Structures are given as structure tokens and as C-alpha cells.
Amino acid sequence: MNQQNRGFLHKYRSIVVAIVLFVSLDIALIAYNLAASYTIDRYTASRDLSGSMRSSTQIVLRSLLEMQADVAAGGTIGEEARTTLRDRAALIQNGLSALREGGSLPGDAEATVYAAATQPAQRAEADKFASLWQPYQQLLQPLLAADVIDAASVGAAASHGRRINSELFGAINRFVNATQDLVTRETRVLRIVQIVGILFALLNFLYTALLASRRLLEGDRAVARSQKQTGDILATVKEGLFLVTPEQQIGEQMSASLKDVLRQEVKPGQKLFDLLTPMVSAPIMEAARDYVGLLFGKRVKENLVYSLNPLSEVEIGGDTAQKRYLSFQFNRVLDEGEVSGLLVTVQDATERVNLQAEVASAKSRAREQMEVLLRVLNNDPAEVQDFLRRTESSLEQVNATLRQAARRSGENYLGLVNSVFRHVHGIKSEAAAMNLEMFESVAHAFELDLVALRDRGDVEGADMVKLALHLDDLFECLNSVRGLFERLGTASPAPASAPAGGESSPAQQLLASLRGLAKRIAADLGKEVRVTGDMPAFDTLPQGMADDLRSISLQLLRNAVVHGIEEPQERRQHGKAAGGIVHFSCRRSDTDGIDFSVRDDGRGISPRRVREALVRSQRYTADEVAAMPDRDVVMKIFEPGISTASESNRDAGHGAGMDVVLSRVNAMGARIALGSQGHSHTEFRIRIALPSAAAAA
């Protein structure tokens, strides 16, 4: 017996008991009815037989008297009287036996069964009757057997009969009455039993009906109660809940929140994947079909595939403002061990995802702050301060440029983009030199957008507004580092242009930065580079000029390491040492100016590669490029957007670096010259005319 049947029996036990009782009562009643009817039938038969015997005693006596009269008249006795006498005497004789012992009369075709006389009143009367009948019957025998009947025999029998008639009749009559009483009594008992039985059956029926209807009512109430509770749950629960059938259709019941979470109506019977199609990409949809299919199958273990749910975090809505995440969780619904459906729980996971992103970002910020901390601890705080000051100044200029763009609508902003680019690139270079990855990555992202704008050509006012977001990021970086710096208690005023005694000079600081940057870029590229310097004049320069030269140095170093210095194997092939050298020089010139130079012992600038880059930039046709002399071609590296790097990364490839150099050189009112020889060297020489006041300072 399974559990469901057991539950059914338990629930309806009282009704089952009542019905069993009802049927048993009916059967008992019918059985009693049959038995009682049989008894009554036999008593009735006995009553009728004794009645016949009662009349027969009178017929026997009348026949005797008739026979006596016939004999006295000398006539013959009629056969009819003799037959009547014989039949009646036989009836009485056989009847007496049947009444006393029970059973049937001999020769009775219908075999009527008579009840034995069991009651004392009956037995007494039957015995009395028998004792009177036996002698009477013996006197009758000769009359029945002889052909000729003598008057004496008839007379004797008739006079005996007359004498006992009253007693004989009385005995059998009382027997009849006693038997009739029995019939009456049995019939009454039967009737009472029947009435009581029917009453019981009726009560039982009423009880059963009441019980059944009460159970039905209780069942209905329970169903209504549980339906209401289910309804309450579905109406209140915040998650979107619904069931999916094995045909992958959405079930009838679903939570009220579902349409709010999904932001669309869901219809019962709708296909699950029709609902999902507009929300997810084709590959995720395919994986989701596999996942749902596996859950409907029996083979996989539900707990061991949760992590593979492709819908655990679904991105909805492309716009940043409306972007949100939904999470669909699937749980098997089992019915007697078989998967009858899946319960789908849909939640808006946007907050969770955003929180995760915030935590990741906070971790990253913490890591970056740690970087700055280490940087400050490992280096001169003044150097970091100096960087922050220069960066702030650059950002203010970018800010001014962007404001300018906002005011002057309608013009082509390409020039402004290039100007912003130079500042941002400068910040990136310095940040890289100081190993401040936070600044470097934000500046790099800014730079990528600027490159995209520059390459597109037609820049609009709206594009400039977007750039302001990057600017804000950089300002935030600046403030964050500055805040950290202040908390460290190292917020010393910006260093003066001349070094304080005992501390490292600006030239030493610059060389240290250059060595750090060279080391990082070289490590990234699998190269070996050494930075050397001879820069006595650098320490005497005014602040603005020192800043410009610093920026130029970083850019030229970057170019030298990325483009100039060869990989160790290539250098050996050309008979050079595996490690390259970049040498910085800053000296006072004969004409009271400053001679600044950067020289690397790398592969030199290849006019062929610059020509290729020029054609690639689409600013010059192949014919134009072919017509240029090598010298002019090489000088084109100072144009913005020209890069010989085959792919762009954070250190090269945007064609911005030389533009930065040139704009700084121009800003200083200096001149730049370039010398290069294949497989030998590249050297940039900058001659700065020093104002006499500055030179004296």
C-alpha cells in the first residue's frame, strides 16, 4: 500500500467505519429476517395442520354417526363415508406425529415442514390429544379394514367418540391457539426487529452522510485556507517565483513581484525561453537550454551543477543608467522521485553586482593607496609632492581647455583634443616613471578615448563633455593621493627649485625616476636598459623649465626603450652588448644657454618604417611619401598620430609622445635637432636659450 492510499484511509476512517457498520447491520437484518420468516412459516404450517386436525376430529365423529345410522337402518355403509373416515383418521395420526416431532407429512408433494411442538403448552396439549386419540384410533381400525361392518363395532367407536369428543376437540383447539400465539409473537418480534433495524440503518446513514459532508467541508476549508496562504505568499514575496513544466512552459501560479522584477507581463503557458530570448545573448541562451534540460533529466546531481547556471547573473538593458542584473535560480520540484517541474526564482541582482563591483573597486583603491604609500616610504616624499603639483597644474590646464571648448561651440575641436592629449600623456609618463599605477591607468583610459576622437577626425562639443568625466577621475586620483599624503603627515611644502642641502638634487631625482621607468618598460619588453646621466645644469633651471625638460626626458626615454633599444639577441647579432644604454646630458652651452640631449645606442630611426607609418596614417599618399627625402621623413615623427609601433599598448603606439616633446620644446622657445644612424644610435638635442635672469638664478 503506498503512502497516498494510507493517507486516504486515515483521513476517511470514520466514514469507512460507518459504511462498514451500515452494511453489516443490513446483512444481519436480512439474515435475521430470513431465519424469522422460516420459523414463522413452520409455526403457521403447524397452526394450519392442527386446525385441519381439529376439524378432522369432528368429521371422523360425524362419519361414525352416519355409519351407525346406516347400519341401524340395515343399509350398507357407503364407500364415501368409509374413505372420508380413513383419510381423516390418517391425517390426524400423521399430523400428530408431525406436530410433536417436526418434519413433513408422508406423501406430501410440497414437503411442507412443520415446527416441532417445543413450547410446554403445546407439548401438554399434544400429549393429551395423543392419549385420547390412541384408543379412539384402535376402535376405528376394524371399521377401516373390514368389508362388512358390524353394528357393535360402529356403535362402540361412535359412543367412544361421542364421549371423548369434547375433550379431544378441546385439546387440539388449545394446541391450535397456542401455535397461533407463537405465530403472532414471532411476527411481532420480527416486525419490531425490522423497525429497529431500519431505524438504526437510517441513523447510520444520517451519521455517515453528516460525517462525509463534514469531511468535505473541512477539506474544502483546508483547500481554501492553503490556497489563500499560497496566494498570500505569492502576493507578498519579493522574488519573482513561478514553476516551469517539463514542456518548459510557465505554470499557472506566479508571484505578484515577477512582473515587477522582469518589468514585463508573464502569461501562464508561455514558453520559458520565449520569455528569456529578448533578455540574453544567443550563447547564454544555448547554455541555459542545456542547463534546464539537465535539471529535468535524472542523471545530474542538482547540488553539483548550481555553479554552472548560466542565468545566475544576466545583464539587462544596455544603457549605463538603466543597466541592471537579474538572477534566475532553478530548483527541481519532485513528485514521487520524478522531476515534475522546476521552481524558478528571479531576483534583481543589480545591488549585489554593484556592491561586488564597489568592493572590487575599493580593494583596488586600497591596493593603489598602498602603492602610493610604498612609493612614499621608498622614495623622497618631496618627489611625490612635486609630481602632484605638476599633475595638478596639467589638469587645471586641461580643465581650462575643456571649458574653452564648451564656450566656443561649432568649431573643430581637433586642436583642443591634441592639446589635452599632450597633458594627459605627460601625466601618464610621469606616473609610470613614479610607478603610480592608479594615475597611469586612469590617464591611459583617458588617452584611449582621445585617440579614438583624434582618429575619427570630426570632433563635436558633446565629445568634449564626455572627456570631462575622465578629467574628474584624474582629479579624484589626485585628491585621493594628496589626502593619503596628508594623513601620513608628510605634507611638506612643494620643494623649492634648488635642493636643500643633504637631499637629492632635482637631477638625481629625475635620473632615479628615469631609471625606474626604464626598468619597468624594459622588463615588460624583455629588454635590458641602463640609464646614465650627466646633468649638472638641470639643478639650476627655473621650475617651469625643469618641469618641461622632465616631461621631455620621460617621453624620450620611453621612445628610446620601446623603439630604439633592441632586444638582447638582436644587439648581440650586431656585435653590441646585450644591455642598451640611454644617456641624458644637461649642460650649460657656450652661448649661455642649456644643451640638453638624450642618446641611445639602439637601432636608430629607420626611414623605411617611418614611411610605412606615414602611409598607414593616411595623411600622405604612398607617392607623396616616396617623393620625400629621408631627412624630411624622419622629422615627421614629431607629427601627432604618427607611430611606428605595430600595436598599441600603454607604453607606445598612439603617436602622441613626440608631439608632447615638440610642444614642450616650442613652449620653452627652444630648438630640437635629431641625429640617427642605423644600428648605432639616436640622439635628440635640445638647445634652450636661457633668459639671463633665469640663468643667474
Partner 1 sequence: MKLLIVDDSNVIRQRIARIASDARLPPMHIVGQARNGVEAVQMVRQHDPDLVTLDLTMPELGGEECTEQMIALKPALTILVVSALSDKATALRALKKGAQGFLYKPFTDDQLVAALQEVMLP
For binding to partner 1 (CB under 8 A), which residues are involved? 283, 286-287, 290-291, 293-294, 299-301, 303-305, 307-310
Q: Please tell me the distance from the alpha carbon of residue 242 to that of residue 259, in angstroms, as a whole number.
A: 11
- The least distance separating partner 1 from the CB of residue 309, rounded to whole angstroms, comes to 8
CB of 280 to partner 1, least distance (A): 13
DSSP letter, residue 589:
-
Strands 529-534 and 240-244: unpaired
Query: Can you tell me whether residue 339 is helix, strand or coil?
Result: strand
Q: Minimum distance between the CB of residue 351 and partner 1, rounded to whole angstroms?
A: 23
Q: Which is nearer to partner 1, 140 or 342 (CB)?
A: 342
Nearest CA to 419 out of 407, 404, 408 is that of: 404
Residue 486 CB, shortest distance to partner 1, in Å, is 41
Residue 292 or 512: which CB sits closer to partner 1?
A: 292
The residue among 10 and 299 lying less far from partner 1, judged by its C-beta, is 299
Minimum Å gap between C-beta 313 and partner 1 is: 11
Smallest gap, in angstroms, from Cβ of residue 295 to partner 1? 10
Query: Which of 304/693 has CB closer to partner 1?
Result: 304
> In 3D, which of 669, 662, 667, 660 has the Cα closest to residue 687?
669
Task: Compare residues 337 and 501 and give the one whose CB is closer to partner 1.
Answer: 337
Angle in degrees, CA 426, 427, 431, rounded to 5: 120
Cell numbers representing residue 321 in the block? 543608467
| Closer residue to partner 1 in complex, CB, 299/631 | 299
Least distance in Å: CB of 314 to partner 1? 13
> Given the C-alpha cell 403457521, which residue does it identify?
44
Residue 45 near residue 113, CB atoms below 8 Å: yes
Phi, psi of 688, deg, nearest 5: -110, 125
144 vs 300, beta carbon nearer partner 1: 300
Residue with Cβ nearer partner 1 (310 or 426): 310
Closest contact distance (angstroms) between CB of 286 and partner 1 is 7
- 187/312 with CB nearer partner 1: 312
Q: In angstroms, what is the minimal distance from the CB of 332 to partner 1?
A: 14
Q: How far apart are CA 6 and CA 20, in angstroms?
A: 18
Task: Report the residue number, 283 or 629, with the smaller CB distance to partner 1.
Answer: 283
The Cα 216–Cα 642 span in angstroms is 89
End-to-end C-alpha distance for the chain, whole angstroms: 108
Do 429 and 447 form a contact (C-beta atoms < 8 A)? no
Reduced 3-state DSSP string for 191-257: HHHHHHHHHHHHHHHHHHHHHHHHHHHHHHHHHHHHHHHHHHHHHHCCCEEEEECCCCEEEEEECCH
* CB 333, min distance to partner 1, A: 18
Strand order in the sheet with 681-688: 529-534, 580-588, 594-600, 681-688, 671-677
Query: Could you give the CA distance from residue 438 to residue 204 in angstroms, rounded to a whole number?
Result: 90
